[in-house]
Structures are given as structure tokens and as C-alpha cells.
Amino acid sequence: MRLAPPPSAHFLRLVIVVMLVMGATPSPAMSSGCPDRCICDDQLVVQCAGQHLTTFPGNLPLATRQLIISNNRIVELPPLALNYLSDLVYLDCSNNSLKEVSESTFGNLRKLAYLDLSFNTLTRIEDRTFGPLASLVMLRMTDNPGLVDIHPDAFSENAALQVLDVSRNNLTALNVTSLVALPSLRSMGLSGNPWSCACDNEDLCLWVHVEGFKFQEEGQTVCGSPADLQGSRVGEVGLGLRALCHQMLGSWDYLFFILIGFAIFAAGTVSAWGMGVVMVLYERYVKRKGEQSDPEGGARGLQKVEEEEQVVGLQEMGQMGRTGRMGRTTSEVRGHPGNGDRKASHGV
């Protein structure tokens, strides 16, 4: 039996180098290390709250499931560092100085269920910002004084979302089309915003009126404008706002109705004319086809008509003859009155 050749010296040196490297830099996922000024436990929770951090903590264990970085001065969430944490389910970024978040910020956090962005300096939420968060259940985004706009499709892909809180921001309008369509949404926080109760925000007011049970602190969800509705509950003005916004038609509305009426009239006229033309052409086609398919029958029909016309002519001539004879007999009787006298004298 032949023995395998002994490993070469180069291969042994390579194995030793790899082992030394692995020993010197263990995998962060299996490492018991922890970022500076943070506390880590065996439950894969990393606690970095209140440590006066100005940047996102580095060297986080890749298996981290809960990350708490609240009460710091962090201004940015770096997508590259954050998206390495693919097992993250809980992220608390509240009370920092975050200015913006985008779709790329949370690109790989598909297991994330809880996200808190409250007490930051966000100004706008872009399209599909939270789209990658397929498992997101609760999103808190309160107390951002500069937050004035949320894109209509910011939450359109968060089918698992159950709790959304955007209270105490500076929002005046909110497109609720995608929110109404969320199948799991159970609780919504809108209080503390200067909501506009004008026609351009009618859908939000009606939604609060119809499904008021979903809204936290519904009594504090009030109108900020116009002046005559300031302080009124958003839900209470829903029906009145609908009636107000749809009771009057503008000049463009009347023009639209006139054009629609004219279009319907023109279409009906053209259709009737076209139908008449088609019927006439069809009758001619059928008649011509009948004559072509039975020429002898057509000739016989013509001959019959001619015979009937001849009979009628003969009848008229006979009637005229009888009338003539009767007229001559009457004139003869009137022309010989002596005949009557002779007959009378002969009788005597």
C-alpha cells in the first residue's frame, strides 16, 4: 500500500500563517469584544446609550440583535457599517442629531422589527426610505421639529407595520393612500402637529373620522389651519370638510361638463348615421346577392309581373267596351220616339 507524500514546507508555513491570523483577529460575530464605551451581554445586546458619542460605534459584533445608541450626538447612520448587522431586530437611535435617513441606510436590515428615530433633526422622509425593512412592526419618529414632509410611498412596502408614531413634528399634510392600504396597521400617532384642515388634506381628516380608534391621543390631533378651524379636532371636521370641498363647481368644472356633453352628442349622431349607412348597404348587398344567385327566378318574376299587367289592361279595355255599348243603346232608344206611339196605337 502506497503512503501519501508528506506535506511540503510551503504548505505548512501557509497553514501556520492562517492560524496565527485567525488567532490575532477573531471574527466579530464570535468575539466577546465590545465597542468602546458600550456594554455588551451574552444576549447579543449592545448598550451604548448616553456615552456622548458623535459617530456610530465601530467594531460591533456581527451577531448583534439589539443596538441601543440613544442619548448621544450621532449625526449619521453609515449604511456600510449598519448593514453588516443583518441579524439586528431592535434599533434605538432616539435623541441624537440625525439629519437624514434613506433607503440605503437600512438596505440589509430585513429582520429589523423595532426602529426609533425620535428626538432627532430629520427634515424629510424620502421615497421607500423604509422599503427594505420587510419585518418592521413598530416605527417611532416623534419630536423632530424640522420634519415637514413624508413621501406618500415612504411606508408602502412595510406590510408588517402595526404601530406608526409621527407625533409632535411639524407636519401639516400627510398622504394616507399607502397607509390605508397597510393590512397590519393597528395604531397611529398624529398628535402635536399643525395639521391643515383644508381641502388638500381632506383624506387625512376623513380617515381620522372613520377609524378614530386607531389614533393615539386623538383628542390632541387638532387643526393648525385655517384660522376658523384652528384647535378643532381633525376627526370632527372630516365630514364637514368633505361637504365644503365638493359643494361648489368652478368654471373649469362647467367647461368640462359641456365638453363631455358635446362629445357624447357627437358620438351618438355619428353612430346613428353610420348605422343607417350600414343598413342601406346591407340591404343592397342582400338584394344584389339574391339576383346573382337565382337569375331564372328573377326573370320568371319579371315575366309574371308583365302578365299581370297585361291582364289588368285587358280587363280595363273590356269594361270600356261594355260602357260604350250601353251608351249607344240608350241613344238609340232616345232617338226613335215614334216606336212607342206605334205600339200604343197598335194596342188600341
Which CATH number characterizes residue 101's domain? Answer: 3.80.10.10
- Which position has the higher pLDDT, 91 or 278? 91
d(CA 78, CA 88): 15
Residues 35 and 119 in one domain: yes
* 16 pLDDT above the threshold of 80: no
Q: Are residues 280 and 171 in the same domain?
A: no
Examine residue 38 and state whether it is found in any structural domain, yes or no. yes
The stretch 47-70 carries a mean pLDDT of 95
Residue 137: Cβ within 10 Å count = 17
Give the mean pLDDT of the chain.
81
Does residue 81 form part of some domain? yes
Examine the domain organization and report whether 158 and 26 are in the same domain. yes
Has residue 203 been placed in a domain?
A: no
Query: Are residues 177 and 293 located together in one domain of the fold?
Result: no
Residues ≥6 apart with Cβ < 8 Å to 298: 291
Same domain for 136 and 273, yes or no, is no
Domain of residue 96: give its range: 21-189
Query: Would residue 199 count as lying in a domain?
Result: no
Domain count of the chain?
2
Mean pLDDT across the stretch 162-180? 94
**Which pLDDT score, from 0 to 100, does residue 290 have?**
75
Close Cβ partners of 18 (under 8 Å, ≥ 6 residues apart)? none
Out of 65-69, 157-161, 219-223, 332-336, least confident range: 332-336
What is the per-residue pLDDT for 323? 61
Does residue 264 sit within a domain? yes
Residue 177 sits in the same domain as residue 29 = yes
Q: What is the mean pLDDT of residues 281-297?
A: 75
Give the closest residue to 188 by CA, choosing from 172, 205, 169, 211: 211
Reply yes or no on whether the pLDDT at 87 is more than 70.
yes
165 and 77, same structural domain? yes
The predicted pLDDT at position 348 comes to 36
Asked whether residue 343 is domain-assigned, the answer is: no
Q: What is the mean pLDDT of residues 301-317?
A: 67
Least confident of 138-142, 143-147, 175-179: 175-179
In one letter, which amino acid is 170?
N
Is 342 a residue whose pLDDT tops 50? no
Q: CB-based contacts of 29: which residues, under 8 Å, 6+ apart?
A: 61, 62, 63
| Residue 328 confidence (pLDDT) | 56
Q: Is the pLDDT of residue 320 over 90?
A: no
Name the residue with higher pLDDT: 209 or 29. Answer: 209
- Asked which of 31-40, 199-208, 233-242 is least confident by mean pLDDT, the reply is 31-40
- Whether 118 is in a domain gets the answer yes
Helix axis angle, 202-210 to 238-246, nearest 10°: 140
Cis peptide before 28 (omega within 30 of 0): no
Q: What is the pLDDT of residue 187?
A: 94
Give the bridge partners for 188, in sequence order: 164, 215
Q: What are phi and psi of 11, to 5 degrees?
A: -65, -40
For residue 288, name the pLDDT band (cuts at 50, 70, 90): confident
Q: What is the pLDDT of residue 289?
A: 78
Q: Is the residue at 253 inside a domain?
A: no
pLDDT greater than 90 at residue 119 = yes
Residues 137 and 33 in one domain: yes
Last residue of a domain, one of 146, 161, 189: 189
Same domain, 162 and 289: no
